[in-house]
Amino acid sequence: MNNPNELLILGCGSATPTSNRFPTSQILRMRDELFLIDCGEGAQIQMRRNDVRFGQIDHIFISHLHGDHFFGLVGFLSSLHLLDKRKALHVYGPKDLWEVLQLQFKVSGSRLKYPIEFHSLDPNREERILETRKVVVDTLLMDHSIDTWGFKFTEKKKPRNLIKEKLEEYSIPKYIRDQIKGGADRDRGDGTVIPNEELTTAPPDPKTYVFFSDTAYKADNAISISGADLIYHEATFADKDVARADKTKHSTTMNAATMAQKGGVKKLIIGHFSARYDDIDALVKEARTIFTQTFAANEGERFSF
């Protein structure tokens, strides 16, 4: 994964795996930090196939406790142990996930070589659950049959870019250049000020990726994703099966496309396809009648943003 902001699809299927679709799992690289989002069965096999370095993953996000979203987690945690991981691993998920993990390790007599720091998600409110030097992660509340969360990953704003020629022209000392990158003007001490805009250029706008896990259409989430660069939204069903989607609290292709349109996002990826559908292109085509920048979450595909 060479792009600093890139999404890798490991699995795009739903509850029943098929011969060509693994359950939900994704790897997000953002500003050179690696995040694992959901961990369905076979996730680590897909990581191997796509040259993901296990040891670079320090944060895992589990959206809910339906098996197709976390049954691969214990195996992956065990592999990290066998690979001699020592650094702490942060796992974010429903509170009962920690009980599941502890039971698995207890009955198998496993003692990991590395600590797990578990972060329980609040089912009643959206919250910021992670802030690193470069990225912040916030939760979104889904509308599913059990407590379920989505995740919004946002770059922190980058410092302004220094204009080398201007630094030399005005003999700007190195010790204040970080202040100038932060937006400060240059006070020359003789009553004159060099405005920051003359010494720097603006950085690119921060990028945002949003992961919508299993959910019925939830209109108010469009506000939270406004202007996002890339979103993944489950589209378990075609529009003709909307009654089944409503019954199971899942989304259709048209629900996902409407969310992208209402949110004013740049690109939509749909996935979590029901095993009943063989023609994924038809699902994408259906969504594109509402939102043209729709793409399928094909396994092994990478989306840069």
Cα separations (Å) of 36 from 53, 59, 60, 191? 11, 6, 5, 53
Q: How far apart are CA 251 and CA 64, in angstroms?
A: 16
Per-residue model confidence (pLDDT) at position 19 = 83
Per-residue model confidence (pLDDT) at position 2 = 55
Give the active site residues. 68
Average of pLDDT values for 171-185?
A: 94
Strands 186-187 and 193-194: antiparallel
Per-residue model confidence (pLDDT) at position 3 = 65
Per-residue model confidence (pLDDT) at position 35 = 99
Q: Of 238, 262, 263, nearest to 252 (Cα)?
A: 238
Per-residue model confidence (pLDDT) at position 110 = 92
Q: How far apart are CA 59 and CA 43, in angstroms?
A: 15
Average of pLDDT values for 197-225?
A: 97
pLDDT in tens, 95-116: 999 999 999 999 999 999 999 9
Average of pLDDT values for 56-71?
A: 98
Q: Taking a C-beta distance cutoff of 8 angstroms, is the pair 12, 299 a contact?
A: yes
The chain-wide mean pLDDT, for the chain, equals 96
Average of pLDDT values for 4-19?
A: 92
Tokens coding 151: 């995740």
Q: How far apart are CA 128 and CA 137, in angstroms?
A: 6
Q: How far apart are CA 134 and CA 210, in angstroms?
A: 16
pLDDT in tens, 214-236: 999 999 999 999 999 999 999 99
Per-residue model confidence (pLDDT) at position 267 = 99
The pLDDT-based confidence of 188 (bands split at 50, 70, 90) is confident
Share of the chain above pLDDT 70, in %: 99
Which stretches of the chain are DSSP H helices? 43-49, 73-82, 95-107, 164-169, 177-181, 196-199, 221-224, 242-248, 253-263, 280-288
In the chain, the domains with their CATH numbers are: 5-158+204-304 (3.60.15.10), 161-201 (no CATH)
Share of the chain above pLDDT 90, in %: 95
**pLDDT above 90 (res 4):** no
Alpha carbon 164 to its chain centroid, in Å, reads 35
Fill in the amino acid letter for 42.
G
The pLDDT-based confidence of 33 (bands split at 50, 70, 90) is very high
